[in-house]
């Protein structure tokens, strides 16, 4: 693809303007899609000023939106699935039985480990947060653990899927872009994943001990009675989440899996919970709200719906439009060239790769460009410096891919906030794995440079 060469002044002006518009929306709590559409408009104007035809920019945006049809469908299905799993009694049943055991364990640590295991199986971070994550969040709220701390543990575990799950779409995109096998990626990934997971386990174990003290079993019992008096509780309802996980393990894609989960949810809602068809439509569209007579329990048992997801869809539309213009016009290509100038060591290469991938994820509101551009443009640089391509894949996964839920305007953070009602700025400090991962990567890259220098020195001594 040929790009118009734009003056650096225009590129930096555009980037500063975009960041400013998004920051104003966050600071003054305006809907984020205003900032994103404004940023896309600014990028388009600067591109037109530099010779790109307006018709071509419109074509770029339309093509980008078409490519993301799956994302829009997933957002709608997530809204439906959460509402239906609440209404059908699936989430209440899992919370009901879970209350029998959670006082015996370190709950925050259990959230992290459970989310990590399920995400590896399902291959989707947001899919994990929107299903099992909602159950874990509900039970934790019953223990009076703050929602933002719970979500930090759940997202830390869930985003392991985007790093290393063989069924994860981003993992497969990274492998395809860099032209590398999963076996090689996994070996390299474990070098940074193991210490990152160990640090996360220590953090959540230490923090979780504070919330295991003084759990009121009587309160849990009252919650169980409230659930049992408002829902038909049976272990049969727990079969559906297990089936959804098994289908994900066997390779069923996320949309058919969510459609199946939603249809089954409608069936359970009407057959077991005796919800009328008109009420069922309201639940699907507006979301579910329990009416147990206990305000604390009602706060746990609510959520989902298609209508609350419309703002998320507008935000994603804005992010996709901006992303399409930045990538299609080549506006961010000079960043790659300038950042990689005079890179001679392994550590510098890894550090700059991580910075580039992270910057692209931050600017474009999505992980895709943070994978594609470094993957495409830096393969030859890694080959030139005799650094394995698996290290390139690992670095991208540990930085640009993993930091996504920490960025308030990123699609992942927006969807997570819409699902749970907890903003990224609140849960981010507790999403330990997502910000420890880049740090570990940079440390290991620096140590690799030291080893290379040591080997080079030994070789010179022998000569």
- Residue 303 near residue 272 (C-beta atoms within 8 A): no
Phi-psi region of 251 (alpha: psi -120 to 50; beta: other; left: phi over 0): left
pLDDT higher than 80, residue 335: no
* Token digits of residue 231: 């829902």
**pLDDT tens per residue across span 24-76:** 887 777 887 888 898 889 889 988 888 888 899 999 999 888 877 887 888 89
- State how far the Cα of 55 lies from the Cα of 67, in Å rounded to an integer: 18
Cα–Cα dist 136/210, whole Å = 18
Count of CB atoms situated within 10 Å of the CB of 181: 10
For residue 65, tell me if it sits in a domain: no
236 within domain boundaries: yes
Among 5-9, 30-34, 157-161, 166-170, the range with the most confident prediction by mean pLDDT is: 157-161
Query: 55-58: long-range contacts (C-beta < 8 A, 24 or more apart)?
Result: 56/328, 57/325, 57/328, 57/329
Give the range of the structural domain holding residue 128, as residue numbers without chain letter: 70-306
Whole-number Å distance between alpha carbons of 445 and 346: 7
Distance CA 434, CA 130 (A): 18
Count of C-beta atoms within a 10 Å radius of residue 388: 14
Residue 42 lies in a domain: no
- Per residue in 416-462, pLDDT tens? 998 888 999 999 999 999 999 999 998 988 886 666 666 555 444 44
Q: How confident is the model at residue 463 (pLDDT cuts 50, 70, 90)?
A: very low
The rounded radius of gyration (Å) of the Cα atoms in the chain is 23
Which residue in 436, 438, 433 sits closest to 156, CA to CA? Answer: 433
CA distance linking residue 211 with residue 110, whole number of Å: 12
pLDDT of residue 93: 92
431 sits in the region (left: phi over 0; alpha: psi -120 to 50; else beta) called: beta
Q: Count how many domains the chain has.
A: 1
155 found inside a domain: yes
**What are the tens digits of pLDDT across the range 221-257?**
888 999 999 999 999 999 998 898 888 778 788 789 8
Domain membership of residue 152 (yes or no) is yes
The answer to whether residue 378 is domain-embedded is: no
- Indicate the SS3 state at residue 273: coil
Taking a C-beta distance cutoff of 8 angstroms, is the pair 186, 164 a contact? yes
Please tell me the distance from the alpha carbon of residue 457 to that of residue 308, in angstroms, as a whole number.
Answer: 61
Helix (H, G, I), strand (E, B) or coil at 332: coil
φ, ψ for residue 175 (rounded to 5)? -65, -40
Helices (H) and strands (E) in the chain, counts: 25, 2
The rounded distance, in Å, linking the Cα atoms of 317 and 322 is: 9
DSSP-assigned letters across all residues of 188-201: HHHHHHHHHHHHHH
Weakest-pLDDT range from 165-179, 248-262, 328-342, 413-427: 328-342
SS3 261: helix
| Dist. CA 244–CA 332, nearest whole Å | 40
Q: How far apart are CA 459 and CA 451, in angstroms?
A: 12
* Residue range 135-142: mean pLDDT, rounded: 88
Query: For residues 36 and 315, what is the distance between their CA atoms, to the nearest angstrom?
Result: 7
Residue 404 covered by a domain? no
| Res 13 pLDDT > 50 | yes
Per the domain annotation, does 352 fall within a domain?
A: no
* Partners of 303 in beta bridges: 288
């Amino acid at each position: 693809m040929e790009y118009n060469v734009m003056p650096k002044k225009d590129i930096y002006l555009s980037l500063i303007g975009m960041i400013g518009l998004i920051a104003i929306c966050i600071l003054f709590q305006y809907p984020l899609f205003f900032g994103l559409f404004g940023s896309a408009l600014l990028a388009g104007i600067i591109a037109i000023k530099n010779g790109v035809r307006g018709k071509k920019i419109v074509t770029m945006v339309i093509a980008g939106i078409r490519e993301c049809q799956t994302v829009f469908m997933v957002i709608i299905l997530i809204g439906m699935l959460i509402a239906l799993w609440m209404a059908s009694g699936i989430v209440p049943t899992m919370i009901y039985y879970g209350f029998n055991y959670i006082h015996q364990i370190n709950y925050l640590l259990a959230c992290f480990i459970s989310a990590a295991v399920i995400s590896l199986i399902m291959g989707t971070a947001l899919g994990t947060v929107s299903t099992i994550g909602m159950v874990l969040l509900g039970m934790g709220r019953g223990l009076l653990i703050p929602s933002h701390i719970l979500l930090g543990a759940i997202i830390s575990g869930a985003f392991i899927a985007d790093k290393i799950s063989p069924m994860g779409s981003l993992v497969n995109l990274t492998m395809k872009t860099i032209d590398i096998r999963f076996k090689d990626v996994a070996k390299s990934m474990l070098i940074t994943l193991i210490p990152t997971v160990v640090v996360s386990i220590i953090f959540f174990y230490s923090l979780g001990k504070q919330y295991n003290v003084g759990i009121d079993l009587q309160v849990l019992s009252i919650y169980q009675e409230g659930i049992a008096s408002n829902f038909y509780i049976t272990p049969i309802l727990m079969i559906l989440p297990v089936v959804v996980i098994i289908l994900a393990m066997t390779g069923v894609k996320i949309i058919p899996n969510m459609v199946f989960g939603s249809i089954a949810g409608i069936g359970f809602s009407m057959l077991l919970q005796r919800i009328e068809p008109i009420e069922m439509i309201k639940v699907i569209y507006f979301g579910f709200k329990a009416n147990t007579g206990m305000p604390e329990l009602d706060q746990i048992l609510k959520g989902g719906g298609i209508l609350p997801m419309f703002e998320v869809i507008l935000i994603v539309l804005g992010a996709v439009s901006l992303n399409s213009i930045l990538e299609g016009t080549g506006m961010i290509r000079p960043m790659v060239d300038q950042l990689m100038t005079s890179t001679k060591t392994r550590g510098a290469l890894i550090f700059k790769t991580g910075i580039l991938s992270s910057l692209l994820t931050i600017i474009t509101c999505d992980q895709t460009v943070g994978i594609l551009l470094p993957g495409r443009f830096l393969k030859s640089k890694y080959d030139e410096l005799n650094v394995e391509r698996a290290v390139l894949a690992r670095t991208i996964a540990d930085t640009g891919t993993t930091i996504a839920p920490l960025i308030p305007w990123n699609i992942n953070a927006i969807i997570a906030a819409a699902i749970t009602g907890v903003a990224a700025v609140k849960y981010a400090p507790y999403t330990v794995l997502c910000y420890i991962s880049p740090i570990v990567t940079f440390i290991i890259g620096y140590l690799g440079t030291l080893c290379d220098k040591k080997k080079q020195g030994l070789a010179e001594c022998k000569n």
